[in-house]
Amino acid sequence: MTQMCRRVIKLGGSLLDWPELVPSFRRWLSAQAAAVNVMVIGGGPIVDAIRRLDAQQQIAAEAAHWLSIRAMGLTADFVSGLLEEATFVRSLDELRFSTGASLQILDVERFLREDQSSADALPCGWEVTSDSIAARIAAVLKAGELVLLKSTLPAAPPTREGLAQAGLIDSYFARASRGLLVRIVNLRNPQALTIDLEVERERSGIIGEMQVGDQ
């Protein structure tokens, strides 16, 4: 079967309780160029709860990290129940890249554990969120682009470092996404004014465009 372009989509956990999530996501995806889409789901309120407990009890950084990864497995399973057209997979080996595999939701835990021995493995700590995890997967899959679907886009300098300082992406993302084509979209208002950014030709890689909604 014909091989297609690969796109990794990170769905922000802050979107999980939005009543319009499913129809809005479907509308957005239908407007994109054809590709094999691999979704990574943010941990949302479950990870927020782990973060609060960690702040109170100060558990080991590695323990908090893997609890958060496990939470992402729960939210991935949850979203797979909302999107019946999607295939839920638990490893990269299960992914299919032919024309018939247009939307797959990945439980990232197995990949991340197996990737720990890699020279480019992500660190275990709060500096890594689902943004960097999606970037690492996009790099391994040699994806044509990485799309981060967010709830809001605050005004920030159009660089990975500037966006991290504004709290839009995590502090490790600039390193994890190096060399990747990245789009950041406000899914709650994807028809908002689109700002075309100059292509970054820095060590941190490329940001192709960013869509900014009214705040």
**Assigned domain for 194 exists:** yes
Reported as a pLDDT band with limits 50, 70 and 90, residue 121 is very high
pLDDT digits (tens, 9 = 90+) for 86-96: 999 999 999 98
Domain count, the chain: 1
Average pLDDT over the chain, rounded to whole? Answer: 84
pTM of the model: 0.85
Categorize the per-residue pLDDT at 156 as very low, low, confident or very high, splitting at 50, 70 and 90: low
Residue 160 φ then ψ, to 5°: -60, -40
* SS3 of 109-128: HHHHHHHHHCCCCCCCCCCC
Domain interval for residue 100: 6-211
**Can you spell out the DSSP letters for 120-154?**
TPPPSSTT--HHHHHHHHHHHHT-SEEEEEES---
Whether 77 is covered by a domain: the verdict is: yes
1 occurs within a structural domain:
no
Does residue 195 have a pLDDT over 60?
no
Residue 93 belongs to some domain of the structure: yes
3-state secondary structure of 68: helix
Report how far residue 90's alpha carbon sits from residue 81's, in angstroms, rounded to the nearest whole number: 15
CATH of the domain at 63: 3.40.1160.10
